Structure 1
Amino acid sequence: MQLIQHQDSLRYIRLHAEDNVAVVVNDGGVAAGAQFADGLVTVEAVPQSHKVALTDIGEGQAIRRYGQVIGYALQPIARGSWVRETQLRMPSAPPLDSLPRCDAVPAPLAPLEGYSFEGYRNADGTVGTRNILGITTTVQCVTGVLEHAVKRIRAELLPKYPNVDDVVALTHSYGCGVAINARDAYIPIRTVRNLARNPNLGGEALVIGLGCEKLQAEQVMHADDPSVDLREPWLYRLQDASTGFGEMIEQIMALAEDRLRKLDQRRRVTCPASDLVLGMQCGGSDAFSGITANPALGFAADLLVRAGATVMFSENTEVRDAIYMLTSRAETPEVADALIREMDWYDRYLQRGEADRSANTTPGNKKGGLSNIVEKALGSIVKSGSSAINGVIGPGERFTRKGLLFCATPASDFVCGTLQLAAGMNLHVFTTGRGTPYGLAMAPVVKVSTRTELAERWPDLIDIDAGRVATGRATLEELGWELFHYYLDVASGRKQTWAERHRLHNDIVLFNPAPIT
């Protein structure tokens, strides 16, 4: 990465020697006629995080960033010009039938030993970073009753059990009025089931149903599942109440108190860093995402993999255009095939909706300097670091091995977070350039800003400022180690993220590609 900068200077970042564009660093951008230290002069004003042409680019010529083609010029672009989205023709997506497979598998990095955190050990061997009572639902119809009960549980019961962090309603919009036997219905069904098995719920989740819905409680909890405790009452159906709403609330509270007593007996114990399950995601991305925050996550991801932990990266549409770089890193042909299979499934899913991956890029992404989904994907995948990709988790599935895993999810922040929770994530990290108050109720969310300006403007929402990399105040290595230690501190409960302190929780949003009846 080439950074043209000194104190109060005009600055740009060029990521690769073959790049013919660079990203402007300065807050507020640069004016027309501005001269950089290497002699480049702008011919027009260029906003912060947007691209400036480093050479004259002819019509039809490739525009390169990250050393990769992000588009083709629709018109001549003069050196020093602002390179706009409207001046680029987006390349076609890489064909899936000719991808490289396992031809650049990284050698295993040296083990990283001696790191640990304080977590809650579960009966199935997983570890929670928080001690939460989860109450899941089988159908949207019961949501209002459960939310009323949860308010009372928090106010009346939770203070009696100080070792329990929270009580969370796992409500969703699925369960009835749906084609429960449709081809793709397995995705929301297994997601609901695996959410109740999340390590942060300690195997003590309850189920609240209505009674007549299509999704029955036995599909959410399986009797032979070691990750949940079904030895005591775990289910309540509202239609069983004989005296109305008041009885419903009292029954739910009674079940909850039984579980709270058990959860309150749990204590944190020292666990190796290998018990951490980190989910990574980006949202409100900008052109700095692939320069500062995401590469720092990638460095920290390598550290966690070296320590034996599980690290998940996601977002199908935000890896699709860079999939050739991932299949090359697949540990085995089976992993490469699984990556291709998930990309193919999602291509066909989008086609059914008469859309394609270009629909992903948002107005905020473009305002933040991302011209198209190709550029966005190249900046997104750097979260995965440099380790071999060890496995693939389908949407709604739970992880079954450690290492670096691709968790196949849509790019929607809320759906991706939900599916990573279902996969077994016990800690979440979220990078943002434009800013978002995103949070999850079931796991701590570490928020990392791509720009210092955002961190300074939102000091009580952003946990880590990665913009220091762009201004030379920190290296990616330094920031990666900072994140690694911060993860362990948050996982141990020694630190709380801002989202936790403010109780900022987005809804659980299931991915349901099946029909609604």
Structure 2
Amino acid sequence: MQEAGTASPGGSSVKFDQTPKTHVIKVHPDDNVAIVVEAGGLSEGTRIADDVVLVAAIPQGHKVALTELAEGDTVVRYGEVIGTATRAIPKGGHVNETNVRLPTPPPLDSLPLATRKAAPVEPLEGYTFEGFRNPDGSVGTKNVLGISTSVQCVAGTVEHVVQRIKRELLPRFPNVDDVVGLNHAYGCGVAINAPAAIVPIRTLKNIALNPNFGNEVMVIGLGCEKLQPSTLIDDRPVKIYENTEAANPDANVLSLQDESFQGFGDMIDGILAMAERHLERLNRRRRETCPVSDLVVGTQCGGSDAFSGVTANPAVGFAADLIVRAGGSVMFSEVTEVRDAIHLLTPRAVTPEVGQALLDQMAWYDDYLSQGQADRSANPSPGNKKGGLSNVVEKALGSVIKSGNSPIADVIGPGERLRRKGMTFAATPASDFVCGTLQLAAGMNLQVFTTGRGTPYNLSMAPVIKVSSNSTLGQRWHDLIDLDAGRIATGEASIEDIGWELFHLILDVASGRKQVAAERLGLYNDLVLFNPAPVT
């Protein structure tokens, strides 16, 4: 049996004893369950320890009871209670969502705030990447023209014009990486003045400020929508079509209902003329050497499994700590996959105010779920359960390890921009696409995404490095996974080994020296706004 020498669900300090052959991994000395390592699982009768023999076949990643568990006994993984047994489970039995009951979530009114004194760490110096520096000091990892929409009505037009630009204009501007449409389902038929409407509106405004766009974002609107284009971007005159005295080469907003347009072709010509001027400016950008302190890395997990919290996520946490030591910025998110581990995070807040902000975001989301007549049991997904995760508590304990061990410097709400260097909790739903959209709005210029079940998820606005939690997936999806952290589980590599490997991969991808797998394949997901406000 592989067993951890030390373990910390709130950080990346899980370390496994390396053994030539192992059947299961036990994370913490106090755990009474372990997860099956071997591809294909283990058959009934397999001896995994001197006194533990499987009484049933157990799939890869699923939990085996290391002791007899009576009904009502606590089930412990990561040294934390992940639930109680709903019935007796024999030693060597299969522990899963059918026989484990959710425990009570941590309270939000009595947790320690900013009580953990951060251990001194040596600054990490001498590491750089090649990025696109912007006038405001931010740095892009890509050089992209963004075309945003103010309302879903114009999404088809934007898709049409993006293809035209790629065919007709982009080949003339070799220093521009891409042109992307920032389509979404917001903008009209919504309660635009409802308090919660600030979330989607500021998300769209802040996405336009993402450093990968180099301040060259266009907004295409219809004209009659509630969310007027001028509210999303600094507006200048929109008369950019030819033979018009009011033409302004700096215009960045265009409405299709403008009465000067005669037909669809005229609208497209206007957008193409606007795009050409933006492309000319973007084409003048060049990569330059930048310190790691200019990186803004988002971390996320999707299609997680029971290995995520012992391989991929701890390795991400280790790399995140390296970036923070170098002065850079890292975000972790996904409120529902943090809520049940919040007691491990509030002590790491740099101040009581930051700790309270963490609790405030948890409370806001608790209320949001309650209003929708849902609760945290809606997470995890069927795929997560098939990968061995019994409930959201187990999932959260493995998820928060992406935050490493660094002090938590700040907390931002959904759609807000990053304010401080270091480790930030950026509150988002757990949905992959919504989380990615909100991290883009926060200023992310690169994302690291861990997965155990697999997903082709990718963003066109920022590169997404995908890390597999198990080697079965890494080998099967060899052309979709960028880094296999499953080698940690098999003893071929340590968390530190994979963490450093990921750190160097981040620098290579940020510099444009390496292309992520999904980008090579041309796979990209749409943006999905988080809109907690009413739809009218």
Normalised to the residue count of structure 2, the TM-score between the two structures is 0.94
Asked if the contact 1:206–1:234 (Cα under 8 Å) also holds between the matched residues in 2, the reply is yes
Matches within 5 A, 1:358-437: 358-437=377-456
Q: Deviations over 1:341-398 (max 9, x none)?
A: 1101000000000001110210001000000000000000000000110001110001
Q: 1:237 aligns with which of 255, 258, 261?
A: 255
Q: Given residue 435 of structure 2, which amino acid in structure 1 is its aligned partner?
A: C
Equivalent position SS for 2:52:
coil
Q: Deviations over 1:226-269 (max 9, x none)?
A: xxxx9811111101153111011111111000010110011000
Tell me which residue corresponds to 2:105: 93
Asked if the contact 2:184–2:527 (Cα under 8 Å) also holds between the matched residues in 1, the reply is yes
1:321 maps onto 2:333 in alignment: no
Q: Given residue 149 of structure 2, which amino acid in structure 1 is its aligned partner?
A: T
1:117 maps onto 2:135 in alignment: no
Equivalent position SS for 1:468:
helix
Q: Given residue 232 of structure 1, which amino acid in structure 2 is its aligned partner?
A: D
* Aligned residue pairs, count: 511
Deviation at 1:141, TM superposition (A): 0.7
1:218 maps onto 2:236 in alignment: no
Q: Deviations over 1:37-67 (max 9, x none)?
A: 5452111111100001111122211110000
* CA RMSD, 1 decimal: 1.4
Between the aligned partners of 1:94 and 1:364, the Cα distance in structure 2 is 26
Deviation at 1:98, TM superposition (A): 1.0
Matches within 5 A, 1:217-366: 217-222=229-234, 232-240=250-258, 241-366=260-385
Q: Given residue 177 of structure 1, which amino acid in structure 2 is its aligned partner?
A: G
Asked if the contact 1:5–1:11 (Cα under 8 Å) also holds between the matched residues in 2, the reply is no
Between the aligned partners of 1:495 and 1:430, the Cα distance in structure 2 is 16
Deviation at 1:78, TM superposition (A): 1.3
Deviation at 1:488, TM superposition (A): 0.3
Tell me which residue corresponds to 2:28: 16
Between the aligned partners of 1:76 and 1:503, the Cα distance in structure 2 is 50
Equivalent position SS for 1:404:
strand
1:454 maps onto 2:466 in alignment: no
1:152 maps onto 2:164 in alignment: yes
Deviates more, 1:296-305 or 1:28-37: 28-37
Q: 1:62 aligns with which of 71, 74, 82?
A: 74
Q: 1:374 to 1:25 in 2, by over 3 A?
A: same
Q: Given residue 427 of structure 2, which amino acid in structure 1 is its aligned partner?
A: A
Deviation at 1:76, TM superposition (A): 1.7
Asked if the contact 1:5–1:12 (Cα under 8 Å) also holds between the matched residues in 2, the reply is no
Between the aligned partners of 2:491 and 2:39, the Cα distance in structure 1 is 14
Between the aligned partners of 2:232 and 2:478, the Cα distance in structure 1 is 40
Asked if the contact 2:230–2:253 (Cα under 8 Å) also holds between the matched residues in 1, the reply is no
Equivalent position SS for 1:236:
strand
Tell me which residue corresponds to 1:204: 216
Q: 1:76 aligns with which of 67, 70, 88?
A: 88
Equivalent position SS for 1:215:
coil
Between the aligned partners of 2:86 and 2:184, the Cα distance in structure 1 is 45
Equivalent position SS for 2:423:
strand
1:488 maps onto 2:500 in alignment: no
Q: Deviations over 1:451-497 (max 9, x none)?
A: 10101111110000000000000000010000000000000000000
Tell me which residue corresponds to 1:227: none
Between the aligned partners of 1:307 and 1:231, the Cα distance in structure 2 is 40
Equivalent position SS for 2:360:
helix
**Structure 1: stretches of 5+ with no match in the other structure:** 225-229
Tell me which residue corresponds to 1:104: 116
Q: 1:33 aligns with which of 45, 48, 69?
A: 45
Q: Deviations over 1:156-213 (max 9, x none)?
A: 1000000000000111110011000011000000001011110000011111111111
Q: Given residue 273 of structure 2, which amino acid in structure 1 is its aligned partner?
A: A
Between the aligned partners of 1:443 and 1:506, the Cα distance in structure 2 is 11
Deviation at 1:299, TM superposition (A): 0.3
Asked if the contact 1:299–1:385 (Cα under 8 Å) also holds between the matched residues in 2, the reply is yes
Q: 2:177 aligns with which of 149, 165, 170?
A: 165
Between the aligned partners of 2:143 and 2:120, the Cα distance in structure 1 is 34
Q: 1:44 to 1:5 in 2, by over 3 A?
A: farther
Deviation at 1:5, TM superposition (A): 7.5
Equivalent position SS for 1:185:
helix
Q: Given residue 154 of structure 2, which amino acid in structure 1 is its aligned partner?
A: V
Asked if the contact 1:4–1:11 (Cα under 8 Å) also holds between the matched residues in 2, the reply is no
Asked if the contact 2:235–2:253 (Cα under 8 Å) also holds between the matched residues in 1, the reply is no
Q: 1:108 to 1:5 in 2, by over 3 A?
A: closer
